[in-house]
A and B are shown apart, each in its own frame.
Chain A
Amino acid sequence: MMKELYFALYAIKKNIQSSAKLRTSFLMNIFGVAVNNTAFIILWGFFVKSVGIIGGWTVADIIGLQGFVALCFGIVFSTADGIRKLANYTASGSFDRFMLSPKNLLVRIATSSFGVSALGDIVFGIVCLGIFAFLINATIYQILLIILLVIISTIVFLAAAIAIYSTSFYFTDSSSVTDSLFELFLTPSLFHGGAFQGVMRFIFTFAIPSLLIGALPVEIVRDISLGKLLLVSVLAIFWFVVSINIFNRAVKKYESSNFMTFGN
């Protein structure tokens, strides 16, 4: 276990070094994403200011929502960007080299690539959550809740990414399918919780875990709801176990191919 963890951290370090070698693209990627996200939240700010509170959601809540989603997106797709490349790995046959590794397959794939642009999401997410905490006059207890919920929503996000990108093993040239499925998960997570009521709330909580990574964490911090915290925690564990199971079954479908590939 410790050897696996040591190698995973070592692989991430090497990936960062590798990305940083291309300095201009490294910095432009981080800066570009941060600017893009900021523009997005400014739009939401103007929107909420003009129409007032939407379904009980204030500007502060929306900033918090964007912060949670951006932060777990950034953490997963910076350190474990290899998951997002699964469709490419399986189509080209470059997945072969992971099968030849003496390490845990999923960890090896996840840490095979570093998403530089996702660092911009991390920076943006931290700033948003800081503003959110400031605007709601967060107590120490709420700040600790925010930290705990970042961990939980990151687990859910990682699980969703693993489950979605594992479908790559079932289709040829699956990148458009996996990208669409991922959008189906991610896009609803960026809308405030007031937009999801009744059946829609049920679907996007239990069937597609979009609300677990943003809307529900904000509601938990805002309302200090231990019931919802328990629900989100249980669902996070459930999704994590299910996603690993899906991956382990899917990988047996791998058929390799003989395209020429180079490097990581």
Chain B
Amino acid sequence: MNTYSITVSNLTKKFSFSARNASSGWLKNLFSPETKEIVAVNDISFSIKHGERIAFIGPNGAGKSTTIKMLTGILFPTSGKVNILGFDPTKDRKKLAYQIGTVFGQRSQLLPNLPLTDSLEFFGVMYDMPEKEIKRRIAELVELFNLGSFITQPVRKLSLGQRMRAEVAASLIHKPKIIFLDEPTIGLDVVAKKSLRDLLLKINKDENTTIFLTSHDVGDIESLCDRTIVINHGTIIKDLPTQDLAKTFVYEKYINLVALNNFNNFPELPEGIRYSSKDKNKITVVVDINKINLQESLKKLLDLFEVEDIDVYNADLETVIRHIYERD
């Protein structure tokens, strides 16, 4: 049996568009515009095993959504191959749809005027589920996602947090083998985010559902995903276990120096140490321990500043991710 849910080989997507040529007149631009091409996804390859939880991250415009749309059959690739559960999304779109679930945080799939229960039933019928099975699955999802208190409300009256829970529940009605989530926690408060993450973890554990997630929220990545793929400018720049991602910049230590009185001047720092932030009450510096060891750097910093307190720590995941984006 194939152990991979998703296999992507040399996947590329190019978009072309008409661009205005400033040196040409408007008439020429109207009838004979210049065509430009952008490479949204550039020759990427990766594989994902059944039951894995993947964070597919990158800055805005990196190619995340384009990739997810090619994996789900929404967009046709310019070149390369995609295999999802044995199906080619460009040829087997309908067959694939029975096996996957999708949630787009910025896009609702529910019926806005009707009660939520109607939307869930609608999805059940769409996936050719027998009536009894639909009822049983709805009852299961209502309990799991705690939808009972608003199941009879029209979808347009739901809060964002309630709606997102409902969106995920609807996408799971047919017990998909993979669920693709594109920024599912966007706009949610901390409680709603945690609730949604816990539910996704439970679905992954109970039903071995593969989770493929794009998000800008570090909390989603940290608490939900065991592997992170970083994409930028359409190319994969990192593919590693999430816990190793935080160690990517382990050679950088952050030191907070809290002023005894006020910091009045900010002298030049020794080689290997640089300012991260400067304030009259607190300075944060970054130490590159490949260039200067921690003990030495602390001595030099204490020579330069009068401090009341010192705090040494590694970069948090958000900082690591920012560094990765900035470096690329």
Q: Could you say which residues of chain A place their CB within 8 Å of the CB of B102?
A: 100
Question: Which residue of A is nearest B40, CB measured?
Answer: A255
Q: Could you say which residues of chain B place their CB within 8 Å of the CB of A264?
A: 111-112
- Whether the Cβ atoms of B118 and A258 lie closer than 8 Å is no
Question: Which residue of B is nearest A100, CB measured?
Answer: B102
Task: Give the contacts of B97-114 with A (CB-CB under 8 A).
Answer: 97-98, 100, 102, 104, 106-114
Task: Knowing A103-B94, A252-B76, A255-B75, say if A94 contacts B107 (CB, 8 Å).
Answer: yes
Q: Does B74 contact A (CB under 8 A)?
A: yes
Q: Could you say which residues of chain A place their CB within 8 Å of the CB of B122?
A: 10-11, 14
- Whether the Cβ atoms of A261 and B73 lie closer than 8 Å is no
Bound Cα distance A122, B74 (Å): 35
Q: Does A263 contact B (CB under 8 A)?
A: yes
Q: Could you say which residues of chain B place their CB within 8 Å of the CB of A100?
A: 72-74, 97, 100, 102
Q: Does B161 contact A (CB under 8 A)?
A: no
Q: Does B33 contact A (CB under 8 A)?
A: no
Q: Does B144 contact A (CB under 8 A)?
A: no
Q: Could you say which residues of chain A place their CB within 8 Å of the CB of B74?
A: 96, 99-100, 254, 256
Task: Knowing A21-B113, A96-B74, A255-B75, say if A102 contacts B97 (CB, 8 Å).
Answer: yes
Task: Knowing A262-B112, A263-B108, say if A102 contacts B118 (CB, 8 Å).
Answer: no
Proximity string of chain B (22-49) to chain A, C-beta cutoff 8 Å, 1 when within and 0 when not:
0000000000000000000000000000
Bound Cα distance A70, B133 (Å): 42
Q: How many residues of B contact A (CB 8 A)?
A: 34
Instruction: Determine which of B72, B94, B112, B125 lies in contact with A10 in the assembled complex, contact meaning CB atoms within 8 Å.
Output: B125
- Whether the Cβ atoms of A17 and B118 lie closer than 8 Å is yes
Bound Cα distance A14, B113 (Å): 10
Q: Could you say which residues of chain A place their CB within 8 Å of the CB of B98?
A: 102
Q: Could you say which residues of chain B place their CB within 8 Å of the CB of A18?
A: 111-114
Question: Which residue of A is nearest B69, CB measured?
Answer: A256
Q: Does A137 contact B (CB under 8 A)?
A: no
- Whether the Cβ atoms of A14 and B112 lie closer than 8 Å is no
Q: Could you say which residues of chain B place their CB within 8 Å of the CB of A263?
A: 108, 110-113, 155-156
Q: Does B154 contact A (CB under 8 A)?
A: yes
Question: Which residue of B is nearest A15, CB measured?
Answer: B111
Task: Give the contacts of B35-81 with A (CB-CB under 8 A).
Answer: 65, 69, 72-76
Q: Could you say which residues of chain A place their CB within 8 Å of the CB of B106?
A: 258, 260-261
Q: Could you say which residues of chain A place their CB within 8 Å of the CB of B108?
A: 261-263
CB distance from B42 to the nearest CB of A (A): 17
B binding-site residues for A, Cβ under 8 Å: 15, 65, 69, 72-76, 93-95, 97-98, 100, 102, 104, 106-114, 118, 122, 125-128, 154-156
Q: List 9 A-B contacts (CB under 8 A).
A: A7-B128, A10-B122, A14-B114, A14-B122, A18-B113, A94-B107, A102-B94, A255-B75, A256-B74
